[in-house]
């Protein structure tokens, strides 16, 4: 049986796939291990490995592993952006940190003025 991600890759619709994952995850603020695994179409063991490697942030409530929705969405966004061109990656980072972009523009403007 083909999973949702394999289908998205085969049909060239990974952007749509990731967007659907985002929409599904936005329904709840805190997600269980099983919910995250189901949305990402992977096993619960894969999710715990991602947590162990520091790729996905989770927290424990007693013995149960839980995830903040925003952390899962960030993980999805980061995986999605890895497949983009360098310019698209810069645009993605610029959206997350507009203050850095403003500082860089100011530095470039000053450098151009000094050359002129």
Q: How would residue 1 be classed by pLDDT, with cut points 50, 70 and 90?
A: very low
* Chain segment 27-42, per-residue pLDDT in tens: 668 999 999 999 888 9
95/50 same-domain check: no
Whether the model pTM is above 0.75: no
28/13 same-domain check: yes
CA separation for the pair 114, 116 (Å, rounded): 6
113/71 same-domain check: no
Give me 108's structure tokens: 């470039």
58/24 same-domain check: yes
95/70 same-domain check: no
Domain holding 68, by residue range, is: 4-83
Task: Work out how many domains the chain is built from and give that number.
Answer: 2
66/103 same-domain check: no
71/116 same-domain check: no
> 59: which residues sit within 8 A by CB, 6+ positions away?
65, 66, 67, 68
């Amino acid at each position: 049986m083909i999973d949702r991600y394999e289908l998205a890759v085969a049909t060239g619709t990974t952007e749509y796939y990731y967007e659907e994952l985002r929409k599904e995850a936005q329904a709840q603020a805190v997600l269980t291990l099983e919910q995250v695994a189901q949305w990402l179409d992977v096993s619960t063991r894969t999710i715990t490995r991602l947590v162990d490697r520091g790729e996905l942030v989770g927290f424990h409530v007693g013995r149960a592993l839980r995830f903040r929705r925003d952390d899962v969405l960030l993980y999805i966004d980061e995986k999605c952006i890895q497949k983009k061109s360098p310019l698209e990656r810069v645009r993605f980072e610029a959206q997350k940190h507009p203050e850095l972009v403003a500082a860089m523009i100011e530095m470039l403007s000053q450098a151009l003025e000094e050359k002129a």
